[in-house]
Protein backbone atom coordinates (compact mmCIF):
# COMPACT_ATOMS: atom_id res chain seq x y z
CA UNK A 1 0.00 0.00 0.00
CA UNK A 2 1.48 3.33 -1.02
CA UNK A 3 1.47 6.33 1.29
CA UNK A 4 -1.02 8.07 -1.00
CA UNK A 5 -3.47 5.16 -0.98
CA UNK A 6 -2.97 4.72 2.78
CA UNK A 7 -3.75 8.41 3.36
CA UNK A 8 -6.85 8.18 1.15
CA UNK A 9 -8.05 5.09 3.03
CA UNK A 10 -7.32 6.84 6.34
CA UNK A 11 -9.52 9.75 5.29
CA UNK A 12 -12.40 7.37 4.54
CA UNK A 13 -11.94 5.54 7.85
CA UNK A 14 -11.88 8.86 9.72
CA UNK A 15 -15.09 9.93 7.99
CA UNK A 16 -16.81 6.59 8.61
CA UNK A 17 -15.71 6.47 12.24
CA UNK A 18 -16.69 10.10 12.75
CA UNK A 19 -20.16 9.56 11.33
CA UNK A 20 -20.70 6.42 13.44
CA UNK A 21 -19.48 8.21 16.58
CA UNK A 22 -21.72 11.22 15.89
CA UNK A 23 -24.87 9.52 14.66
CA UNK A 24 -24.55 5.75 15.03
CA UNK A 25 -23.98 4.86 18.66
CA UNK A 26 -27.41 5.92 19.93
CA UNK A 27 -29.35 4.01 17.24
CA UNK A 28 -27.16 0.93 17.84
CA UNK A 29 -27.92 1.15 21.55
CA UNK A 30 -31.64 1.16 20.78
CA UNK A 31 -31.52 -1.73 18.30
CA UNK A 32 -29.04 -3.88 20.26
CA UNK A 33 -28.92 -2.65 23.88
CA UNK A 34 -27.08 -5.72 25.21
CA UNK A 35 -24.18 -4.98 22.86
CA UNK A 36 -24.10 -1.19 22.99
CA UNK A 37 -25.74 0.10 26.17
CA UNK A 38 -24.49 -0.52 29.72
CA UNK A 39 -26.80 -1.44 32.55
CA UNK A 40 -30.54 -1.44 32.60
CA UNK A 41 -32.95 1.40 33.21
CA UNK A 42 -31.89 5.01 33.57
CA UNK A 43 -28.14 5.70 33.53
CA UNK A 44 -26.18 8.93 33.82
CA UNK A 45 -23.21 7.22 32.19
CA UNK A 46 -24.73 6.65 28.76
CA UNK A 47 -25.51 10.32 27.91
CA UNK A 48 -21.94 11.22 28.93
CA UNK A 49 -20.54 8.46 26.69
CA UNK A 50 -22.74 9.68 23.83
CA UNK A 51 -21.55 13.25 24.34
CA UNK A 52 -17.91 12.22 24.46
CA UNK A 53 -18.08 10.06 21.33
CA UNK A 54 -20.17 12.61 19.40
CA UNK A 55 -17.55 15.25 20.17
CA UNK A 56 -14.71 12.91 19.20
CA UNK A 57 -16.63 12.05 16.02
CA UNK A 58 -16.88 15.71 15.00
CA UNK A 59 -13.14 16.08 15.62
CA UNK A 60 -12.39 12.97 13.53
CA UNK A 61 -14.51 14.37 10.69
CA UNK A 62 -12.45 17.57 10.84
CA UNK A 63 -9.24 15.50 10.98
CA UNK A 64 -10.20 13.75 7.74
CA UNK A 65 -9.39 16.98 5.88
CA UNK A 66 -5.71 16.82 6.92
CA UNK A 67 -4.91 13.58 8.75
CA UNK A 68 -1.17 14.26 8.95
CA UNK A 69 -1.81 17.44 10.90
CA UNK A 70 -4.16 15.52 13.21
CA UNK A 71 -2.00 12.55 14.10
CA UNK A 72 -2.11 13.22 17.85
CA UNK A 73 -5.93 13.10 17.75
CA UNK A 74 -5.82 9.92 15.67
CA UNK A 75 -3.40 8.26 18.11
CA UNK A 76 -5.54 9.41 21.04
CA UNK A 77 -8.48 7.68 19.34
CA UNK A 78 -6.40 4.52 18.80
CA UNK A 79 -5.13 4.23 22.37
CA UNK A 80 -8.30 5.39 24.10
CA UNK A 81 -10.26 2.86 22.03
CA UNK A 82 -7.89 0.05 23.06
CA UNK A 83 -8.10 1.04 26.73
CA UNK A 84 -11.88 1.48 26.61
CA UNK A 85 -12.33 -1.88 24.86
CA UNK A 86 -10.04 -3.59 27.38
CA UNK A 87 -11.93 -2.23 30.36
CA UNK A 88 -15.27 -3.11 28.79
CA UNK A 89 -14.06 -6.62 27.92
CA UNK A 90 -12.96 -7.19 31.51
CA UNK A 91 -16.24 -5.85 32.89
CA UNK A 92 -18.19 -7.99 30.40
CA UNK A 93 -16.43 -11.12 31.61
CA UNK A 94 -16.85 -10.23 35.30
CA UNK A 95 -20.52 -9.21 35.00
CA UNK A 96 -22.53 -11.89 33.15
CA UNK A 97 -25.29 -9.34 32.43
CA UNK A 98 -22.88 -7.43 30.18
CA UNK A 99 -21.47 -10.27 28.02
CA UNK A 100 -23.23 -8.91 24.91
CA UNK A 101 -20.54 -6.23 24.72
CA UNK A 102 -18.00 -8.90 23.80
CA UNK A 103 -19.80 -9.11 20.44
CA UNK A 104 -20.86 -5.44 20.22
CA UNK A 105 -18.87 -2.38 21.15
CA UNK A 106 -15.68 -4.16 22.32
CA UNK A 107 -14.78 -5.55 18.87
CA UNK A 108 -16.03 -2.34 17.21
CA UNK A 109 -13.61 -0.22 19.25
CA UNK A 110 -10.75 -2.64 18.56
CA UNK A 111 -11.56 -2.52 14.83
CA UNK A 112 -11.43 1.28 14.89
CA UNK A 113 -8.10 1.19 16.75
CA UNK A 114 -6.51 -1.35 14.38
CA UNK A 115 -7.75 0.41 11.23
CA UNK A 116 -6.54 3.83 12.35
CA UNK A 117 -3.19 2.49 13.63
CA UNK A 118 -2.55 0.58 10.40
CA UNK A 119 -3.47 3.46 8.10
CA UNK A 120 -1.83 6.36 9.96
CA UNK A 121 1.50 7.10 8.25
CA UNK A 122 4.56 7.12 10.44
CA UNK A 123 7.53 9.37 9.87
CA UNK A 124 5.80 11.74 7.47
CA UNK A 125 6.94 15.25 8.20
CA UNK A 126 4.78 18.29 8.59
CA UNK A 127 6.41 21.67 8.13
CA UNK A 128 6.45 23.54 11.43
CA UNK A 129 4.73 26.93 11.33
CA UNK A 130 7.00 29.91 11.60
CA UNK A 131 7.09 31.56 14.99
CA UNK A 132 6.34 35.27 15.13
Res 82: pLDDT: 98
Alpha carbon distance 68, 18 (integer Å): 17
DSSP annotation of 104 reads T
Helix (H) or strand (E) holding 67: none
pLDDT digits (tens, 9 = 90+) for 53-101: 999 999 999 999 999 999 999 999 999 999 999 999 999 999 988 888 8
Q: Is 51 left (phi over 0), alpha (psi -120 to 50) or beta?
A: alpha
Per DSSP, the residues of 68-88 read: GGGHHHHHHHHHHHHHHHHHH
Does residue 128 carry a pLDDT above 60? no
Instruction: Kindly compute the dihedral angle of the four CA atoms of residues 84, 60, 69, 71, in this order, to the nearest 10 degrees.
Output: 20
Amino acid sequence: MTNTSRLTALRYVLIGTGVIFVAGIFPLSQVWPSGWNWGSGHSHLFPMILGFYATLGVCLLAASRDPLASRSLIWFTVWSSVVHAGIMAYQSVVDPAETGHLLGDVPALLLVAVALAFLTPRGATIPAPALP
